[in-house]
């Protein structure tokens, strides 16, 4: 993930600043505050601000004016209870703001989560950089024949080489035309008016990089991560979620442990699945045909109990 000299200098300047505060801080998160964590080939995630920590969750749940308890074990138990029983408001007391650089097609998938405040780099006013996401060979997979939203076997040989070359050439060609239509900077023709930036941008490919600031409370961040850090999520958004998970671990370690235990490592069951499981525990041999479950719901139950 190459940063420009200007970007690196800006981050260094931010990280060099410090100020005394009476606000609660998370020392582990402070260590990487403003730091750009690399994702994909040109992307990154970095924390630029946050509010609250594990104690804020506990204080909110108990409506206390100071530290909720003097025992980390008690705090962890309460946070685990809140997570298991899906209490949302105590987790909403914590907020975090990220600066993210990501491909446009990932951003359009990400923005479906409408529970955050977002401000994106505007190509109406500024010129986008010549940076495109090109998949690593290991991520260059064919369409799955069993899942319309999934990937199948990895492409190899001449077919893979042709796809990678085509992605690069198409992106470069589109950007060349974008620059020509803008007619700005070095090589601009003084006798020709450039096309408005808000129009020239429409020719750019979906793998070009954009940036935004994304601010969200912890409850909604956990919902985002439960979907996007899941193994079934698209790889290109999952790696961003994985990077964000690491920042959450530094920020609210007790809430992170509760989330990993109850949400990422837990399972949700339908009433029908619970009834079948009870029959199995009672010693009955239950088959898919005798379960009363659909094939998909049966398979989901098997995935939980056979893991």
pLDDT single digits (tens) 122-180: 999 999 999 999 999 999 888 766 666 677 788 889 999 999 999 999 999 999 999 99
Given 46, 197, 228, 238, the catalytic residue:
228
What is the average pLDDT value for the chain, to the nearest integer?
92
Say yes or no: 218 and 98 in one domain.
yes
Say yes or no: 84 and 102 in one domain.
yes
Residues 6+ positions from 223 with CB-CB distance below 8 Å:
113, 115
- Chain centroid to CA 285: 42
Q: Residue 163: what pLDDT? A: 94
Q: Closest Cα partner for 62 from 82, 42, 37?
A: 82
- Segments forming the whole domain that contains residue 194: 135-205
Say yes or no: 217 and 300 in one domain.
no
Residue 228 annotated as catalytic = yes
Angle in degrees, 0-180, between the axes of helices 54-62 and 72-84, rounded to the nearest 10: 70
Say yes or no: 22 and 97 in one domain.
yes
pLDDT at 69 over 80: no
pLDDT single digits (tens) 254-303: 999 999 999 999 989 999 999 999 999 999 999 999 999 999 999 999 98
Say yes or no: 65 and 183 in one domain.
no
Q: Residue 22: what pLDDT? A: 87
For the entire predicted model, the pTM comes to 0.90
Say yes or no: 247 and 113 in one domain.
yes
Confidence band for 67, pLDDT divided at 50, 70 and 90:
low
């Amino acid at each position: 993930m190459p940063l420009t000299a200007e970007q690196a200098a800006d981050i260094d300047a931010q990280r060099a600043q410090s100020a005394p505060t009476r606000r609660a801080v998370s020392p582990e998160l402070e260590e990487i505050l403003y730091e750009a964590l690399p994702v994909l080939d040109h992307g990154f995630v970095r924390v630029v601000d946050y509010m609250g920590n594990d104690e804020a969750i506990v204080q909110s749940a108990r409506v206390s004016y100071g530290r909720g308890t003097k025992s980390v074990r008690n705090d962890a138990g309460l946070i685990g209870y809140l997570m298991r029983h899906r209490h949302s408001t105590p987790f909403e007391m914590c907020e975090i703001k990220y600066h993210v650089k990501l491909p446009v097609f990932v951003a359009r998938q990400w923005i479906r989560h409408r529970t955050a405040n977002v401000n994106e780099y505007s190509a109406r006013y500024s010129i986008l950089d010549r940076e495109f996401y090109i998949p690593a060979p290991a991520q260059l997979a064919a369409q799955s024949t069993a899942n319309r939203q999934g990937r199948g076997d990895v492409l190899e040989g001449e077919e893979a080489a042709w796809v990678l070359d085509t992605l690069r050439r198409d992106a470069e060609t589109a950007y060349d035309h974008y620059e020509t239509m803008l007619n700005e900077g070095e090589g601009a023709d003084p006798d020709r008016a450039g096309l408005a930036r808000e129009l020239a941008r429409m020719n750019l490919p979906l793998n070009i990089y954009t940036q935004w600031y994304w601010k969200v409370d912890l409850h909604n961040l956990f919902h985002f991560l439960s979907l996007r850090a899941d193994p079934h999520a698209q790889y290109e958004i999952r790696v961003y979620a994985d990077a964000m998970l690491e920042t959450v671990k530094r920020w609210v370690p007790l809430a992170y442990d509760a989330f990993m235990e109850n949400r990422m490592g837990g399972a949700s069951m339908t009433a029908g699945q619970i009834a079948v499981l009870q029959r199995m525990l009672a010693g009955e041999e239950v088959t898919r045909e005798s379960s009363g479950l659909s094939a998909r719901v049966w398979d989901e139950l098997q995935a939980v109990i056979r893991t």
